[in-house]
Structure 1
Amino acid sequence: MTSALRHRVRPLVPAIACLVDLMLCLTQEGNRSEVAVPLITVAVCATLFARARWPLAVLAVHLGWSASVTVVWESRPVAGLLVALYAVAAGRPARLSVPGALLTTLVLCGQLDLSAESWRGALFYVSVAALLAGGTWGLGRRNITLRAEAAAAALRVERLRIARELHDIVSHALSGIVVQAAGAQAVLPTDPGRAARALTAIEGTGAQAMDEMHRLLGLLRSAGDDDAPRLDRQPGLPDIGTLLDWARDNGLTPTTVVVGEPGRLDDSTSLAAYRIVQEALTNTLKHAGPGTAVTLRLAWSDADLTISVEDHAGRSPWAAGRSPRGGYGLTGLRERVSTVGGTFRSTALDHGFVVSARLPLARHDKQAAAAAVR
């Protein structure tokens, strides 16, 4: 049962349990003239609406009612009692729910008229009562297991996302630091001022990367906690201009081409677009080196954004048929684009390498996008 369907059915459970217990009550000849029994049954079943908040109290009410009505009026309400037991099993630890299941079994056995049965018949009915209570308890415990598994799966997804963000941050920062450090070393004897500017750029890049890593590592340490910190703002398409500035500072020559009327992207899709450009520029700097011309193309349509980053590095190592070392960046991009419903391609060309992706626009009404690049 899906979560949405479960939320729709949940408010109907008390009414269904009340209807079943009323039918059981009214089928007893001795109870047809008793007005009190159906009225109290409705009142007791109404407590099931509070079963999520006070499951133990609700179960106690149903145990008391079921036991007393069996003795006084010889009625046998079952449905409400089982629903209350399920709520306890699904929301409380076993040390509390197991005694509830045992008491429920005793009450169900007390509702049976075993005096007229042979020992085999009595054993059969007692077994049925135990199976009803035990099966209900087991279903409730299974609900706890499913919730725990869903929480663990969500935690794994979150940690993988954070690991992917760390890769992007570290790879991007270190590539710039290596290039700037090499340049500073080369010009230090002849141009100390230029070397100082390169060292300043290294300091700024390192500090920014450290800030982002601290935030992500804080999330990783506290993932799964209710009071875990959240990233207030993730980068997105409007921040691509800072990536282009970074590329220029590190010796690349980026050119931007925008086609079509900009549309609106979801936050996750906008982050994917940012990471595509970031990874492509980082890999261009790492494998083709400073002085490489790069073309960023944003092609908007009514349904999607096609984004491509193409470098013109001549006969680069990529064009020779070798992928970037490790390949984790492009693999991560492919997974990231897939999760937002897009498609991703990376292709070696004679003159360089191109990374492209098709990203769907937000399903909401189209809005003008902020100017992402200049």
Structure 2
Amino acid sequence: MFLWIRDQKWLPTIYLSLIALVVFGISDYLLQGPDTLIATLLLVGSVAFSRPLPWLSIALFSAGILTPQLLHLDPQLAQLLATFSLLVLAAYGTKLQRRIGYALNVAVGITSFVWLIITLPVGGSFYGIELPTLESKYVIFTAGFVAMIAVNANAWFFGRLLITRITHVGTDFDRAILEREIATTQLSLAEQDRRFEIARDVNDLLLEQVSATLTSAEAGMYAAKSDPSVAPRILENIFDGVKKAHAEIRRLSDLLGLQDVKALALPGLRDLPKIFVSYREFGYGVNYRLTGEPLSLDDGAELVLYRIVFDSLENIRQHTPQGTEVDIDFIWQGNAIQVVIKDNGEETRNRLETAISGYTVEEDHRALVERPTGANLNALQERAALYEGAIEFGKVPGVGFTVSAAFPNIAKYRKATS
């Protein structure tokens, strides 16, 4: 039913309201007479408008809850429809509509119940419940107060639960989140895999350097005995060898200290379309354009290009609202490639906030003289430098952010052909 209500705004709630009119209209008519029809129509209307016009639904069920007391009637069965309207409102309304709807439903319901208890004389009754003493009125009031809050809270909770399940669990959006998590994990693991390969090469260099230093030291020991004048030169050679070995050890230490996860996969350019689909599911308009003839690159070079795009999209998701348009251009030209990623996040945010002024002269000035900085941006620059590339970051006032990465000699890192 909730999927039906979600996909069609008017038809489902109209059908439900007609059914409610028949069931509750006849029931209240038989119990208290024709005067109940006014409140019943108001509450049935709140059901009909709960999906397409939430504010009108809130107004109708607020009026419908109070109407029986204004007409000196007992509580009507149709007042249960206010709870159903709240359930639909909790599922499909905005955050403000949900909060106001819940608060008004509880407040008006408690007001109506207090009014009933106060105006009902000691010894009176409603729906067969007799109140012979003042204490019995207090008991009924307490029970009604707790029930009012509990019933409305449960309606609100189940509305949120149902819309969450039908929107996220097992849906394309849910799969998009999973795809992004998988991509993030793959990226971390692949990055460490590449670092382990470099560490192995550095380790081989270290072994060679230490072996050469030991050989020089052993030869110097015998040479110094026969000709002491060669000792300074021998010590200088040993010092140079130790210095180089120390530099390699420092490099290896820095390399292994960056991440502590073992890699299992190596994502590349072939995996970008899945990431684009995931971010479209998140609500971002990702537009991908390919210009020129792409080269077949080795895994390390593809990983760097993939990481630039992935990190840029992640920054966009964290700092811009849904609805932001993202343009991603891969421009291949001979031995070079340029990757340009542009978004209109600031323009989208201003449009959502109905900003009239757009952007100020101060923002223009800051965009010209201030360079974007941050740990993620520095990491992207370091990765690009590994393949003789450079990255520039820029902010267009009133529009958004731009990332431009250029690799003039990317052809050097073509995949080896067997």
Shorter-chain TM-score range: 0.3 to 0.5
Highest Rg: 1 or 2?
A: 2
Normalization by structure 1: what TM-score? 0.43
Higher helix fraction (1 or 2): 2
